[in-house]
Amino acid sequence: MITRLFIIAISPGLALALAAYLTDRYDREPLHLLMKVFFLGALSVIPTAIVERFLLSFNIFGGVLSAAYTAFIVAGFTEEFFKRSVVLRTAYYHRAFDEKLDGIIYAVYAALGFATIENIMYVVFRFAANPYVGLYRGILSVPAHMLFGVTMGYYLSLSRFAKDESSRKHFLRRALSIPVILHGIFDFILMAKIPVLMALFFPFVLYLWIINLRKLNEYKKESREIYTRAMEGPTD
């Protein structure tokens, strides 16, 4: 029983990580660096849990305000902060980070490492008696972490390749603030349990997929163009 739940818990994260790796088809990142980012993303669950517990102690609100505080500050800000920190401390300055698609790949791996451990905690330990938790999280929660990672990586790349320090800092801030907002909205809709908001949940998830696939395709196209120019070589 535990083995089956464990497989259910880790399968979505590993499958999405493989999909991300295959997406980076023209200049793939070093496997050892990707694994490092993934496992440090997984380990970031520990400081995240400590900080979240600390921040929850300040939740003096009730009702909708309590849900908003938990969604945006406790979960959204804390989780995205530590996931971004993993990329900044491992891949951001690495020589392998040499094109914009790389930022998305590394941020997605950090996010999926985190999401995989979080999924194990929910599916195997907290809700082992509920067979639908693994299905729900595999379809919605784990992919959502990946999508927040795409947004984070998009802005990390803009920061990494910015031409001046002001732009670099601007995009670095957006690499945290935008994922926090998207993450907070995702969690708030579920936590607030307001019927009108719940009706907007699946349209919002669809919106997340659309905007992030556009970001991914933009950088994937750029990666293909760089590869094509390199294969053609210098022209006279």
- Quick: pLDDT tens for 150-201: 999 999 999 999 999 999 999 999 999 999 999 999 999 999 989 999 999 9
Per-residue pLDDT tens for 28-73? 999 999 999 999 999 999 999 999 999 999 999 999 999 999 999 9
Within 8 A by CB and 6+ apart from 194, the residues are: 64
Q: What's the token pair of residue 119?
A: 């999924």
Predicted TM-score (pTM) of the model is: 0.95
Find the farthest-apart pair of alpha carbons in the chain and give their distance in angstroms, rounded: 70
Domain residue limits, the chain: 2-6+31-228
Q: What's the token pair of residue 231?
A: 């294969």
User: How far, in Å, CA of 100 to CA of 104, rounded?
Assistant: 7
